[in-house]
Amino acid sequence: MKKKIFLLSTLAVFLGMNVEAQATKDTLIIAQGADAKILDPHATNDQPSSRVAGQIYDSLVKQDSKMNIIPGLAESWTQIDDTTTEFKLRKGVKFHNGEPLTADDVKFTLDRMKASPQVSHIIKAIDSVEVVDDSTVRIKTDKPFGALLSHLSHTAASILNREAVEKGGDSYGQKPVGTGPYKFVSWQAGDRISLQANPDYYLGKAPTEKVIFRSIVEGTNRTIGLETGEVDIAYDLEPVDKEMVKSLPTLDYVEEPSLSMAYIGFNVNKDSLKDKRVRQAISYALNVEDIIDVAYQGSGQKANSPIGPKVFGYNPNAKSYEYNPEKAKELLKEAGYEKGLKLKLWTNDNPTRRDIAVIAQDQLKQVGIDVTIETLEWGAYLDGTARGDHDMFILGWVSVTGDADYGLEPLFNSENKGGAGNRSFYSNPKVDELLTKAKNSTNPDERKAYYFEAQEIIQEEAPIFTIAYTTQNIGKQKTVEGFEMHPAGHHKVYGAYKTK
């Protein structure tokens, strides 16, 4: 192991890392695999952005690490009737620009969110937001909506300051203002985002003065940053590096279940992929066990649905595609592709996804599908798949709210085609109907029945191939205390500190 550590240190110098410059005690340096796209929570719904935005903003309610709803900017709430909930705001809360939090900011935020093509689906059920007084707001849904509080805990529902947004205009997302534990300081695109503790935070000032989010695309380089002390916490270590991190006496490796699902999506508007038999053939041609063993190093569970066992509404009996290349060939022949076909598979610059792409390319070749892999930068990848420029693509989805509404609605409701989540451009009136009925019910058993049926249809029609329910991990210095991962992946830094 000493030899490997020496090699990593040598590589760190080669890559330009300053091995001697250890992070100071008052600063936490966190590495993740991509830069934020924008820090306006209404302009994107990607995880790298949300992980930073979650430190800057607060929402009306939150979910703790057990997915329980707890107070946020709202200290209490009351169910007035089946469609109306009244929220009492904490008094004395200030935005980072010094402006006081008011009910007008809440109304402005949620109205603006409903107008956003990227995130409006999250609160689509909300019909109106009424300001009762400066510290009281009533949210009315068009119909009963059982998942309201879960959806209001989403990072995209973070409360914004009206004055700051209007003043910032088109550049607001580069200079965000929230009420959260950390204030935005600066952003060096593609490198780092710097934050500073908010001295007026309503729960008390964070124990660590500065937080820097580093964008380090290559997982091995994030591991090198840990080994050299350049990085305090590294998100999403590559499976191949986890044993090495475990072996180092100065580091901790932490792996926990998540609400994440990895998938290969099909653009159903493309000629060959319009036929569900082709999509099913691809699903039968992929050996998930190989993908989990190689790409995830065993850190995953074969998926049979777009939502996992930890999500409310999960159907354990939804169709699971077992590896069957002969069945794949049979379906391709039925669809008129006995002589094969050519497809492009998109991925972003993520090593695990690149591994999945290579495995899929090899396995699909065995049934006559010639796959070309194209790797795009994260922002271009999101934009391209939102437009529908792709044939197939590899992505993940996190059921952030722990509810099937969020796990299924964005990816499969025909109203959410493109950047809102449905990058397969899938449309099925029956699925739309089931998802809407489930959304508008407050009866848990009734909601489950609708979601069970929807999952059965989705798995049969295969607009996506669900690969695995993945775990999440971090590597950290042993000197870092007070940091907890969140099942949704939007980890909060508040409370984390270094002992030396």
The DSSP string of 316-347 is TTS------HHHHHHHHHHTT-TT-EEEEEEE
Q: Which amino acid is at 240?
A: V
- d(C-alpha 434, C-alpha 376), whole Å: 35
**What percentage of the chain reaches a pLDDT higher than 70?**
95
pLDDT tens-place values along the chain, 500 residues long: 433 433 343 344 334 444 333 457 899 999 999 999 999 999 998 899 999 999 999 999 999 888 889 999 999 999 999 999 999 999 999 999 999 999 999 999 999 999 998 899 899 899 999 999 999 999 999 999 988 999 999 999 999 999 999 999 999 999 999 999 999 999 999 999 999 999 999 999 999 999 999 999 988 999 999 999 999 999 999 888 989 999 999 999 999 988 999 999 999 999 999 999 999 999 999 999 999 999 998 888 999 999 999 899 999 999 999 999 999 999 999 999 999 999 999 999 888 999 999 999 999 999 999 999 999 999 999 999 999 999 999 999 989 888 999 999 999 999 999 988 999 999 999 999 999 999 988 899 999 999 999 999 999 999 999 999 999 999 999 999 999 999 888 899 999 999 98
Instruction: State the pTM of this model.
Output: 0.76
- Residues 60 and 157 sit within 8 Å (Cβ to Cβ): yes
pLDDT tens column, 467-493: 999 999 999 999 999 999 998 888 999
3-state secondary structure of 133: strand
Number of C-alpha atoms within 13 angstroms, CB side, residue 98?
0
- Residues 306 and 467 sit within 8 Å (Cβ to Cβ): no
- Residues 411 and 466 sit within 8 Å (Cβ to Cβ): no
CA 144 to chain CA mean position, Å: 26
Q: Which amino acid is at 6?
A: F
CA 276 to chain CA mean position, Å: 27
Domains belonging to the chain, first-starting first, are 2-56+177-257+472-498 (3.40.190.10), 61-165 (3.90.76.10), 258-471 (3.10.105.10)
181: closest CA among 193, 198, 194, 195? 198
- Residues 439 and 431 sit within 8 Å (Cβ to Cβ): no
- Residues 145 and 127 sit within 8 Å (Cβ to Cβ): no
